[in-house]
Structure 1
Amino acid sequence: MFIVCPHCTTSYAIDLATLGMAGRSVRCARCKEVWLARPEDAVEAPAPVPAMADAASAAAPPPDPADEWEALAREEEDGQPPQVDSPPLAAGWPEDAAEQAQAETEDAEPETQGKASRLARFGKLIRRPTLPNFPGKRIFGLPALTAAMAALCIALVVWRADVVRLLPQTASFYKLAGLEVNLRGLSFKDVKVATETVDGKPVLVIEGAIVSVTKKAVDLPRLRFSVRDAQGTEIYAWNTLLEQSALKPGERTTFKSRLASPPPEGRNIDIRFFNRRDLAAGSA
């Protein structure tokens, strides 16, 4: 296995046992960089090196890895960062190329070298944080979110009356969705409209039943009847008291009301319970 210097990418053959479980600090022989070498950072193949460096390495016999890491262990015990010998990269360079590289190094401005060194130190400080790996499955997956949304929709339909009581503005939403919202817990059943003749005059007869659909006793308000024309305009309205004042859960009561001489332009009959708006409008 090999470790690679994070600064100059020089690779070194190692024995993973010498690093231990937590790793150990090592120093690159080429650039003098000190880093923490861990077993999980080791690679199977060394990093590629220039061809001239390969020629130089072939000329000299490779050092024994065991001897190198024993020397590292001794230096670490002495309190000094261990140093790994790096193969000389410039050993196989021609003399003119070596002189040119030396001249370019001498001509480099100190400011540029200092900036490169600061950038290298800054790169060591910025490392990707290691997030803890929690065992088990994710809590909020797509199936869980889908089930939660389905449960919410069912609750909004089943308890729509309670929702409208808390948020009256949602009544229009339920009406658009075709869902009936019964806040009183009372329902009209078997409503019939007929016409009779009494003393030669027409009489409109309206009858039906009221059923309690709630789980508790509910008071029965007055009934309000209204006649509307073809355009939906209210022509005539009247109120009727019921015989019973309250209904128990599931209980049923009947009603019947008559209107003599109904307006001839009447087309529809509306039946509903008397409410606060009727009281505010002055309807008796």
Structure 2
Amino acid sequence: MILECSQCGSRYDVPSSAIGPDGRTVRCVNCKHSWFQAPEAPASFQPAPEAVPAPPTVAEESAPPPPPIVDPVEAAPETPNYDPFIDPPPAPRRNRLPWTIAAIVATLSVLLGAAALLHWKAPGLAAQIGLNFGATETPLLFSEKNVELKTRVDGSRLFIVSGKVLNPTRTAQHVPDIRIRLMDGASREVYGWRITPATRTLDPQASMEFNGAKVDVPAEAKVARLSFASEIGE
């Protein structure tokens, strides 16, 4: 509000809050004149007239309401959640039992084939590696067996064994090694060795000769026994 001194005419711009609602005494700074200043009269307030809506026209009353706007994003059907880091389902496990059975059968076939090869084709090799399938059964027979003991010029003793192997059957037979065992007077074996036959197959009704000799056999050897040795390990 504006205050004016009645004595000197000085004018002052004072906020209404400094006078207060009840008024107060003020003094002019210029001439030192004092007077009571009444509060500023409040300005009259008249409320603005309320706006009255215009009545609707006939066309507006009969017109149907506009269709709702559909957001294509909101109207889209929901899609299932997809996580690119979800582990794929495990692959179905294959039944390996048939393969395992096939592998076992193949291994047994190889072992049986190797055993047959060692037994019929390579008895010496099997004996070297220490395999043993038991005694050999054969229809072959010994004949014209002969044992000699000779003393050589150098004084050593030479023990000689000879004879024949017969095949009395009508089919060809496999010929195993011939085993020589020297026994003492108490029927204990004191020495032994093998004689490899000249051929491994003997024709039907055929025979073959054999002979073998050893030097410096034990002096207690009294009897020589002949047999067909086991092809493997004996």
Which structure has more RCO (C-alpha within 8 Å, separation ≥ 6)?
Answer: 2
User: By the TM > 0.5 criterion, same fold?
Assistant: no
Decide which structure has greater helix share: 1
Q: TM-score, normalised by structure 1?
A: 0.33
Q: TM-score, normalised by structure 2?
A: 0.40
